[in-house]
Every structure is written in structure tokens, then in C-alpha cells.
Chain A
Amino acid sequence: MKVEFDDNGARVKISGEFTFTDHVAFKAIASRLFEGQGWPIVIDLTKLEFIDSAGLGMLLIVRDEADKAQRSLILRGPHGQVKRMFAVTKFDTLFTVEA
């Protein structure tokens, strides 16, 4: 998995594969996303090629943290296998997902 933050730290673009071996890296990503305040959190998935159930679980953890912090969370641009995983697990009913 590769990670790229924008300037204010509330938007991150993740690319490649997001799987169970990424849990330590993702904890660091999530911590940085919640450093700022007020901005909606955006996780850009347009370059993400593959996700497994552990990756989906990590997105759910961020959703719960966002709820606690009263921040909105947007998942942007899932496609291919990622979009299909969202459909199978009904993720599009659990998140705000933008095309």
C-alpha cells in the first residue's frame, strides 16, 4: 500500500493493495487524519486496486473514530475489485461513498 496526504492532512490517497499486513501503517494514517479538526476526512481510493476483509475492517474502525470525533468521512472513487467488495459487504450503506 502507498499513501499520499494532502496539505491539511485530512485527505489521504491510498494506492496498490490494502490488506491485513497493512494494519500498522494504517494506524499511523488514521492517527494523522484525526490530528486536524473540522475538516471532513476524505479517503481517496481511486488508485486502490485491491482490498481484503481486513482492509474493509480498518475502514470501519476509521468510521467509528470519525463518529466519536464528530467528523464526516467520505470514501472516494472505489472501482474494480474494491467497488465489488463494497457491494458484497454492503459498505455503500455504511459510508458516504462518492464516485
Chain B
Amino acid sequence: MSSAVQSYNMATVEAPRLSCWDGASEDSLARALSMAVTECMEVALIDGNQYSRLLFRPRANGCLRLALTTRSAYRHQVARVFVGALALRIDLSGDLRDRVHTAIQEAMMNSVLHGNLAIDSGLRDSLDGLETSHQTIERLLTSPQIARSMIRVEAIWNASMLYVLVRDSGAGFDRTDLPLPDEVRAAGHIARGRGLAILEAFCDRLALLHGGTTIKLGFRL
């Protein structure tokens, strides 16, 4: 086989089945992630020509992929809908559904706020800071470039493991540069510094990839 040509055993490989999400509501997202679908993209990304950055390939394992805008990731409870779609495809019984939901929520929040919007968590350390944070986010989302910047959520599974990768379009970060939760609180920032500890507690495996722009969550099935 030529090294330039990827070959697949078509008996075991699914062709991708695509859908589009209008970005309007969680109900319309649930419909866009119905059982027949393996890949879903928000329409605003197609309008913004960002689809050319996506390389959807057939895979031998199960998969569900969603590409959406920062605006929609901020406005809608995407993690809950995505986990609901996963539960239609694989058994998430026991505490697994709560763990997957919590971890995807934390990873998406990190990707939206710190990745694509580059918001300082310290803004949300007080009641007045909550309002300031909201105004800052709304102002950033008036920029089409920022509002349409992409978030990707990709679930891949086999009989024993589920992996979920959450990718943002930001500058990334180095895990070793993050202050410890005690250091954050000692500096007077009461309302942050728990996301990574929650991910470590709720995932069976956790990795930061591509300079911190991708969070890989692993769960034993």
C-alpha cells in the first residue's frame, strides 16, 4: 500500500454520518445528535468557512463528534445534551454518566472561558465581579471572530474505554504553570482553582495535549 493512501477494512469501518446544528437550542442540538449521526457541525461554522479545518475520518471504533462556536458553547448546556447523546450509544450506567457529564462540563468551561475568550478567572471572585465577568464575555461575543471561534468535542469508544477530547482555538497553557489550589486561595482568589482537581477526581485518565488546547478525558466502561 502506498504510504500516502490510507486503507480501511470496510467491513469494520463506519463512514461518517453528518448533521448540522442551527445553534438555536438544546432541543435542536439533541435532534442533531440523534442515533444515526457520527459528526455534527454548527451551521455558523460552515458559514464562517471553518469546516475546512475539520478532518473527519472514518474510524473503526464508535465515535461522536461535535464542532460548535464559542457563542453557542457559552449560551447552551451543551455538555448535558452531548452526554445524553452518548448514553443512547453506550452504557453510562451507575455513576459513569455523572462523572462524564461533570468532566465534559469542566473541560468545556475551561475551553470557552480560558481558551477562546481568555477571561481572567479572578474576575469572578466577588458578586460585583460576576457582573463584570458577564459584561466582558458579552462584549467579546459581539466580535464575530471570537464568537465563531471553534470548540470541538469528540468522543471515541471501544468495549473497555471511552475517551472524550475537548479542543479549543486558544493559546493553550502548561499544566506545570498552574498555581496549586491552596496557592490560588492564599492569593485571595476564592472562586477558582478547582477545575483540574475535579477532572482528576472524576476521570480514570486525564491528559493535556497540543500545548493545553486539548483536554483528553478517559473513562473505563
Q: Give chain A's interface residues, CB within 8 Å of chain B.
A: 17, 19-21, 23-24, 26-27, 30-31, 50, 52-54, 56-58, 60-61, 64-65, 80-81, 84-85, 88-89
Closest 5 CB pairs of A and B: A57-B191, A23-B130, A81-B98, A88-B201, A53-B194
Minimum CB distance partner of B112 in chain A: A20
Of the candidate stretches B33-41, B57-65, B120-128, B162-170, the one touching chain A is B120-128
Instruction: Tell me whether A64 and B190 are in contact (CB under 8 A).
Output: yes
Tell me which residues across on chain A come within 8 A of B198, comparing CB atoms. Answer: 53, 85, 88-89
Instruction: Tell me whether B190 and A30 are in contact (CB under 8 A).
Output: no
Using an 8 Å CB-CB cutoff, how does the interface string of B80-101 with A read, 1 for contact, 0 for none? 1000000000000001001001
Tell me which residues across on chain A come within 8 A of B75, comparing CB atoms. Answer: 21
Instruction: Tell me whether A58 and B201 are in contact (CB under 8 A).
Output: no
A33 to chain B, nearest CB (A): 10
Interface centre among A20, A58, A80 (most CB of B within 10 A): A20
Of the candidate stretches B2-10, B12-20, B102-110, B148-156, the one touching chain A is B102-110
Instruction: Tell me whether A61 and B125 are in contact (CB under 8 A).
Output: yes
Tell me which residues across on chain A come within 8 A of B106, comparing CB atoms. Answer: 52-53
Task: State in angstroms the CA–CA spacing of A46 and B75 once bound together.
Answer: 25
Minimum CB distance partner of B105 in chain A: A52
Instruction: Tell me whether A20 and B101 are in contact (CB under 8 A).
Output: no
A91 to chain B, nearest CB (A): 10
Tell me which residues across on chain B come within 8 A of A89, comparing CB atoms. Answer: 194, 197-198
Q: List 8 other contacts, CB 8 Å, given A19-B109, A53-B106.
A: A19-B105, A21-B77, A27-B127, A50-B80, A52-B106, A58-B130, A61-B124, A64-B190
Instruction: Tell me whether A61 and B109 are in contact (CB under 8 A).
Output: no
B163 to chain A, nearest CB (A): 21
Q: How many A-B residue pairs have CB under 8 A?
A: 76
Instruction: Tell me whether A27 and B130 are in contact (CB under 8 A).
Output: yes
Instruction: Tell me whether B192 and A57 are in contact (CB under 8 A).
Output: yes
B34 to chain A, nearest CB (A): 22
Task: State in angstroms the CA–CA spacing of A34 and B186 once bound together.
Answer: 26
Instruction: Give me 8 A-to-B residue pairs in the complex whose CB atoms sit less than 8 angstroms apart, sorted by A's number.
Output: A19-B105, A20-B113, A24-B130, A27-B130, A52-B109, A57-B190, A61-B125, A88-B198
A41 to chain B, nearest CB (A): 14
Instruction: Tell me whether A58 and B191 are in contact (CB under 8 A).
Output: yes
Tell me which residues across on chain B come within 8 A of A57, comparing CB atoms. Answer: 124, 190-192, 194
A83 to chain B, nearest CB (A): 10
A81 to chain B, nearest CB (A): 4
Task: State in angstroms the CA–CA spacing of A27 and B194 once bound together.
Answer: 21
Tell me which residues across on chain B come within 8 A of A27, comparing CB atoms. Answer: 127, 130-131
Minimum CB distance partner of B97 in chain A: A81
* Residues from 118 to 148 in B contacting A, C-beta threshold 8 Å: 124-127, 130-131, 133-134
